[in-house]
Every structure is written in structure tokens, then in C-alpha cells.
Structure 1
């Protein structure tokens, strides 16, 4: 009986790690402003156009009171959204429903001074080429 209870408690403790499967994240050595500049520079430096920057952290802070919360989730959180015409065409020619993944995004967060850069994961198959592009951009931003 104790083993079953322990196994159940262990499963509850490890459940949040499963949620991490939806994103790849890397710690950034520097502040939020430096990280957002590095990500923007890495994207634009590849000849890609940033379609939109979602200031998600600002939105969450601005609307917290309106939704009855006093929790500060991020000290800063931005998502850079962009596409690659060449790569998007390639993955959508392989499967037109890959449109669901476009635009691509790289996020930067600051939680209590811990700055993170990351992106969501993609399914096996053609979308792994997009994931590789995102990782290359993030790796450049981390340098």
C-alpha cells in the first residue's frame, strides 16, 4: 500500500516535467533587454522579417486585476513571430495543414531575473526543419 501511495505522489511531482515537452528553453546570461535584442538581431540577420512582437508579459500585467489575479507571472515576456517564405512553402507543400504552425515564434521571458529564450516544439516530419531553424536562431542569440 505504501508503494502505491509513493508511486502516486511521485507521479504528481513529475507531472510538470511532461508539460515541458511543448517547448525548448535555454537560460540567457544577461538581462531581458539584451535577450530581446539578441533574438531580434538573429532573426533579422537571417533576412527574415518579424511580423509581430507580442508583448505577452505586458498584457498579463495589465489585465491581472481585471481577471481577479494578483500573481506576477513574468517581469518581461515577448514573443517574436515570423515566417520563412522558403521553408514555409517547403513544409506546406509536404502537408498543407502545416499552415497551423505558421507563423513561427521565439519567446523571451524574465522571471525574477532569470531570463529564458525558447520556442515551441513541432511534430516529427517536415516541421523538424522549422524546429532546427528556430534552434539555430536561438543558439545565435545565446552567443
Structure 2
């Protein structure tokens, strides 16, 4: 049993590292969030919701018994593309699990990053390409 568990950890660890693509941003958190908003809206998409994850983590830090500050700021911009969503869900209705799509901005100790959750292989790579275009544009890459 231990050999199996060790093998699982060795195999799973690299996969965990590949859950997101992140780009460094040379500027402020506010400028990066403006860049993400501009990149999304500039493609004719609507931001449905902005999740203020950093604020929530800080607000609840003491309530959950932690003294760790994870981010100075962190937001996730949630949106959909009617055209792209229809394409991926026509290919497989279970792809609804990946909608809405999100691009995040984080700030930790002055290091600002823009990124997104990686999408599965197949037709969802079209979504990944959109997310990557938005994140790169916002990060100035």
C-alpha cells in the first residue's frame, strides 16, 4: 500500500503544479485589474461577477484560526462567451462545469500576477486560448 501511495504522490504533484497559467505583471494591482477588465470587455464579453477572494480571505482569517496573509489583493473576473460556450457544450454538455470562465489578478508582497485555471484537453483548449489571450494582454506579454 505504501508503494502505491508514494507513486500516487509523485504522479499527482506535477499535475497540481499545472492547474493554472500565471504571468507576472510589472505594475500595480489596480492597473492589472483594469487591464483584465479592458481585455475582457474589449472582446465584446461581459464580466458577470468579480470575486474579491483576497478580501474574503483576509476578512475570515481570524475566524478560521489563521494568522497567514495569503494575498495583499486578489480578484477573479468571471465571464462567459455565448459563442464559445455553445461550441464547447455542443461538443460535450458536461463542459458546463467549466463555465463561467475566470481570469484572476493577485498581489503578494508587491508581486502582481495575472492568470487563469488551465482547461482540459480537447475542445476546451479553445477556451484556454481565449483565457491566455486575455491574460497575456492584461499582463502586457
2:92 alignment counterpart: 95
1:121 alignment counterpart: 118
Q: Distance in 2 between matches of 1:97 and 1:62?
A: 34
**Residue 115 and residue 43 in structure 1: after superposition, are their counterparts in 2 closer, same or farther (change >3 A)?**
same
- Tell me the TM-score normalized by structure 1: 0.88
Instruction: Write out per-residue CA displacement over residues 13-55 of structure 1, whole angstroms, 9 at most, x where no aligned residue.
Output: xx86542210000100101000000000100011100000000
Q: How does 1:75-86 map to 2 (within 5 A)?
A: 75-86=72-83
Q: Distance in 1 between matches of 2:13 and 2:70?
A: 16
Unaligned runs of 5+ in 1: 1-7
Q: How does 1:22-61 map to 2 (within 5 A)?
A: 22-61=19-58
Deviation at 1:92, TM superposition (A): 0.2
Kindly report structure 1 stretches of 4+ aligned residues shifted beyond 6 Å. Answer: none
Q: Distance in 1 between matches of 2:47 and 2:99?
A: 12
Q: Distance in 1 between matches of 2:139 and 2:70?
A: 23
Q: Is the 8 A contact 2:73 2:107 kept in 1?
A: yes
Q: Distance in 1 between matches of 2:132 and 2:117?
A: 10
Q: How does 1:65-84 map to 2 (within 5 A)?
A: 65-84=62-81
Instruction: Write out per-residue CA displacement over residues 95-138 of structure 1, whole angstroms, 9 at most, x where no aligned residue.
Output: 00000000000000001000010000111100000000000111
- Tell me the TM-score normalized by structure 2: 0.89
Question: Rg: which structure is higher?
Answer: 1
